[in-house]
Structure 1
């Protein structure tokens, strides 16, 4: 399995390349800018979680990753509905975000169990 640090970084890069293909307009720019922010935040906050000062800090940072991944999925879904092009790439990115989200949620649950244990 690919290192999650690299995988989250690649997710941000792939979203950037997708966004670079979307035409500039007031309407598209709103979604594109949000996707760029949230997708890059996934990797940045995952990296920060790896430097957590405590289990609680680690979990809190992973919760941010969870939120940003879900937000990325939302904007990918919006683009799938309104853009009409790059559909396959949008679906692949949405699937990748879904897999990352599942991993993060499982990590949060494991950390919480270990914290109580």
Structure 2
């Protein structure tokens, strides 16, 4: 079973994402900020990370840069899932190493399509 880490400071978003991803056959881990997500990755590297941009302590971009440094050889698929929807943010995320980008609000069909595009399902 593939493992996905859902990183978002909103408990509601984490809960919605968990339901969608579990329905798609993933086991789920959760973190409410980038620092806790990095710690979770050190304990168990996920196959995928569903990542919010704006979070306290360590935001999504800081997390992505730190993860790229630490896990270059075992890099999970990273899908940003955020309200930041302008081309500058999308370009910045992809250039930093994100594999895909989902804009909030999202639903099961969007998540499933993006995970199919990156070869996780």
Report the TM-score, using the length of structure 2 for normalisation: 0.30
Q: Which has the higher contact order (CA 8 A, sep 6+)?
A: 1
More strand by proportion, 1 or 2? 2
